[in-house]
Every structure is written in structure tokens, then in C-alpha cells.
A and B are shown apart, each in its own frame.
Chain A
């Protein structure tokens, strides 16, 4: 079997006496869309934060393309091709949409220790920004300051920012959180397009979306992986039904 793009091995993270990530192992193959689901408090965001380097695990390892990145800081992982979106929108609110994306492009196009030339006039960066905005359908809002964008637009902008860093692997932390029905549908369509170009780890509560999109699904309960497999297998898994899908309606209404 070929080396997976992302390999997580026996990851453990404790907060005081609570084990938020309990011996989690999972692989993401190149080109795959791998969904991580689980009830609230299952430790999904904690796991994502360890993958992106915002949180250090107590033990275990994370490797990207065969390279151990367990102890690299967030910005180095990003340089290696790992991009993320945040569950709670995290953007530069006093910058325009285009500036937000252009900065992500800038991080991956040469040094930023340039002090004199006007960066907003660098054609390469602007083109990359506009292309990424176009990709998520936000080009017409390029010059609007983020604080004036709607919630749905901000979620799309999060994606554009992640895309602009030309990642190998995209970690999406609940991209549909807080979106209305039509906005959610647009997001699913967008993800369907994106998955052709980039491998994706998707953390999401929206079950229909997950089952429509995912190649494989890993189910997390109380920080432990209780099942992992293709959507059909997960649907048929008794443990999952008992632990999770049985009260699916409860969970989805929590969001």
C-alpha cells in the first residue's frame, strides 16, 4: 500500500483528567475526502488543532506525506501543504476579502521580508487571490471589508483563504456551521468540486452532507475512534448506530 498523505498514529491529548483524544489513529489517502464525525464533545476540534499544530499532543505522531510533523509549528505545517478553515470564522476582519486571500498566497510565494514595493500591486498575488475568490464564487465581493460580509460569505472566504495556500490537504472544521439551507447546498456543491483537486479532511455535523461527500468516515466518540470505513459500512455499523446515529436528530439540532 502506498504511503498515505496524512497518517495519524496513537495520538493522545489530555486536559487535566479528561482524555480529549484517546489513542486516535487514522490515515487519509491522497485524493480522498475523509470525514470525521461524532457527537458534540467527541474531541473533533481538539483533533483538528493537533493536526494543524495549534495544540501539542501528549503522545503519538502525525506525519504528512511520510514526513513527521508532530512537533512542527503551525506555520511550518502550512508551508508543507496543510491548510485549515476554522469552526468559528477566523479572518482578518479589517482587511478586504481580496487582501485576506492575497496574504495566504503571499505566504507561499517568496519572502515577505520586502519592505518597499506595494504588495497590493503585485499582479501575481492579486491574480491568485482573485482566482481563489472566483473558485468559491466570491469574486464580486473581492474589495469588500470582511466585517461587512455575511456569515455565509465569510465561510466561503475561509475556504478561499485555505485554497490560496495551494494545499495538498485541506482540513475543514465544520464549514457548514451556522449556514442556512441554500447556503449549505452551495457549500456542498463547492466541496464536491474541490475534492477533485485536493484531499480533504472534513469535520461536520451535517449528516446528509457527510454521507453525500465522504469516501471514508471515521467516527469519534469520547475521543476514541469507534469505527472507520466507507459510508455504507458506517451506516451498517452497530456500534455507530448505538453510540451516535441513534440520536442523530438530537445532535443535528444542537448545531
Chain B
């Protein structure tokens, strides 16, 4: 750690808050807040994975919710077919996400810019329709997960606190991995490609290969979030991969600050709490949220992390 900065202090406070939250929940008897924050942590994990390709890799994916669905359905379908072990469910969720990312990435990366946005969006919508067509697994109505993933006594996902800490550990683990990746050889190449692809080709890097691998890594991380999400809600439906969910994830990343390590966590906390707060004021909360997003785009460049950074530069 170098100098003290406002953004570091706020980040540290937020992380401490996340770690201590179950204590508060138990002391105050407020169970709802733990449920809410479990969701926040899981979606923060998904947003962090999106940040890897969007913030660091410059790949604007508008179809990231597809992995939430794929990870979730991996858990749900296996559970329904009698495979309850998390040691199988979670790896399958991650592998299925990797496979999807590999195919979609190989196709989408043939284009760039706004095409990339549209294509990732369209493919995620395809995944949504496919899930809606799975009559055996609930179709449109979704699939109830009657039993949470079983980790043979190692950890009990049925216990709220244990489950929360599992999610938090996954989040921290993924952020640690992203931190290592963006400072590694691979990460520098990916960031270089975001900055100037032609230059990177000229000094000898085949762009697509690196971008595709990065895309797949991000998909796997988000697949993990999907597996956790299905356990959290005991339910998975096509709605988990509806395109507005992808939009939510993008908003979290940008709100928090693209390319900032803890930005997506900040973004997820603020976005979901704001949603919660507004929906308590009025049933028509999106009436406020929508224009708010517009204002953030128009006036709030760099997200919350960027804003906090400005305190230091004076």
C-alpha cells in the first residue's frame, strides 16, 4: 500500500462492512439484510467478471447474464437429475460457461465496437429462448432447486451465514485472481489490445487469441456466480438471463468505475441498494432509476471510483 487515498479508505470500509454484515444481522435479528446482501455479493461477483473483459479488455459484452443462467441451470438440472454434489455441480457450471464463452467469443470477436455489443446481446437472447424451450426443466416458468448444492459436510449452503461467507469468499477469490491476471503478462497484453490493437499486432501479438481467452475466463467466473445464484434463490428461470439483467451488470460496472478492481463491488452495492431504497418509496421506482442512469452517463464519468479519486487530486 502506498499513500492513503479516499477511494482506498472507502473501499476498505465497504469490504469491512461486507465481512462484518452477518454479525450485524444476527445481533439485530434482521435476516432480510443478509438475504439482500447475499444477492449483492453474488451479482458483484458477476459484475467483477464483466469488468475483466469490459474495463480491462475493452470488450463491451451485453450478454453477460447468459452465464448466470448457464451456471444456474447447470445446478438446477443436475439437482433435478439426482446429482446433488456441489463438487460436480459447480465444476459443470463453470465448464458449461467456458464452452458457451468459447463459441460465442470466437464468433463475436470477429467484429468490434457496436457490433460486438449487439451480437453478444443477441446470443444471450438466444440462450434465453433456448432455456424457455426446455419443457422438461420448467420452460418459461423456470426450475425449482429443491436441494442446495451438497459439499459433503464441508460447508452447509442451507445455513444463511455459511452461504453468505461462501459467496463472499468466492467474490474475494475472483477479485484476487483478476488482480493477478491484470498485472500478469497476459493481462498487460489484453490491456494493450484495448488501448491500441494495431500497435499490438505490429509488435507481434495475435490479438484475437488473447481476447478470446480473456472472454472465456470472464465467462467462467460469471458461471460461478450463476451457480451461487441458483442456490441463493432455490430457483432458476430464463429470466436470470434476460437481457435487462445483462444491462444491470453493465450498469454496475460503469457505476462503480470501469477498470477499477473493486469498482464493480461498489457499483453492485450502490445499484442494488438504490433499487431497494427506491422500490420502498414508490412502486414505480424505475421511473426514477431510468433517468438517473441517463444523468450518470451524462455527468458522472469514471463512476464512483473515479469520483472518489478526484478528492485526492484536489
Contact = CB atoms under 8 A, between A and B. Distances in A.
Given A114-B185, A118-B184, A90 B198 contact: yes
A75 B201 contact: yes
A86 B202 CA distance: 10
A92 B185 contact: no
Interface in B234-268: none
Nearest to B180: A116
Interface string A92-110: 1111000100111011100
Interface in A123-168: 161, 164-165
Contacts of A13: none
A64 interface: no
A107 B274 CA distance: 45
Contacts of B195: 92-95
A15 interface: no
Contact of A112 (B180, B189, B201): B189
Interface string B210-222: 1001000000000
A11 interface: no
A201 interface: no
Given A73-B206, A79-B204, A103-B203, A112 B198 contact: no
Contact of A52 (B188, B202, B206, B207): B202
Contacts, number: 96
A119 B187 contact: yes
Contacts of B310: none
Interface in B181-201: 181, 183-189, 191-192, 195-196, 198-201
A74 interface: yes
A112 B205 contact: yes
Contact of B186 (A52, A90, A104, A115): A115
Given A103-B188, A106-B188, A91 B183 contact: no
B279 to A, nearest CB: 38
A78 B204 contact: yes
Q: How large is the interface on A (under 10, 10 to 19, 20 to 34, 35 or more residues)?
A: 35 or more
A203 to B, nearest CB: 15
Interface string A22-54: 000000000000000000000000000000101
Given A92-B195, A95-B192, A113-B213, A120 B183 contact: yes
A205 interface: no
Contact of A75 (B186, B191, B206): B206
Q: How large is the interface on B (under 10, 10 to 19, 20 to 34, 35 or more residues)?
A: 20 to 34
A86 B181 CA distance: 30
Contact of A119 (B183, B202, B205, B207): B183
A78 B210 CA distance: 17
A112 B185 contact: yes
A83 interface: yes
Nearest to B201: A74
Contact of B203 (A83, A113, A115, A122): A83
A117 interface: yes
Contacts of A99: 188
B196 A112 contact: no
A165 B199 CA distance: 13
A2 B232 CA distance: 72
A224 interface: no
Given A91-B196, A113-B213, A106 B202 contact: no
Interface string B14-33: 00000000000000000000
B250 to A, nearest CB: 21
B258 to A, nearest CB: 12
Interface of A: 52, 54, 73-75, 78-79, 83-84, 86, 90-95, 99, 102-104, 106-108, 111-120, 122, 161, 164-165
15 contacts: A54-B198, A73-B201, A74-B201, A75-B207, A90-B198, A92-B192, A92-B196, A95-B191, A95-B192, A95-B195, A103-B203, A114-B186, A117-B184, A119-B183, A161-B199
Given A75-B201, A75-B205, A79-B204, 5 more contacts: A95-B192, A103-B200, A111-B185, A114-B184, A115-B186
